[in-house]
Amino acid sequence: MAILSDKQIIEEMELGNIVIEPYDRSNLGTNSYDVHLGKFLGTYQNRVLDAKKHNKIDIFTIGEDGFVIQPDTLYLGVTMEYTESHKHVPFLEGKSSIGRLGIDIHATAGKGDVGFCNAWTLEISCIQPVKVYAGMPIGQLIYFSIEGEIENMYNSKKNAKYIVRSDKPMESMMWKNKF
């Protein structure tokens, strides 16, 4: 697997293999695209979560003055950007400036699937209280090329759980799995 360069990302966007909305050329790095924190955050309604049950979230809007996230709480955020990847594996990583503030943007879900078409839900946690703002740079998307044909694109899988387009964070759908 190889990481796409800035020129390759642009070429793949022109071909429709990568979609980023809204797109701003100034957010394109050497081999990544910067994404931004959307205006919605969510927290789980219950402190104890059950993997076999639907754990609902309360969604709220980050105000103009920002919002202070607290340690020991999982916040579900969302990227401002809607993305599609029809030929490449997208990876979402936190920006180093975010890491240096003690913020993690994903617990385990940094890799997307070929065929993923949506905004990215972020699993935000922090080491100490940090004020965050809607629209702030939060992560970067990196695209990997793959070898071979795709048989089962994510957006056409019968059991795909995160395909409904949304500008709000989505809670875990683990409860839909059979175990």
Give the catalytic positions in this structure.
123
E strand map for 8-87: 18-21, 33-36, 40-44, 57-61, 67-69, 75-85
Helix (H) or strand (E) holding 77: strand 75-85
* Amino acid, res. 149: E
- The strand pairing partners of 21, in sequence order, are 82
Q: What is the distance between the alpha carbons of residues 12 and 3, in angstroms, rounded to a whole number?
A: 13
DSSP class of 178: -
- Cα distances (Å, whole numbers) of residue 157 to 37, 82, 153: 28, 20, 6
CB contact set of 48 (below 8 Å; sequence gap of 6+): none
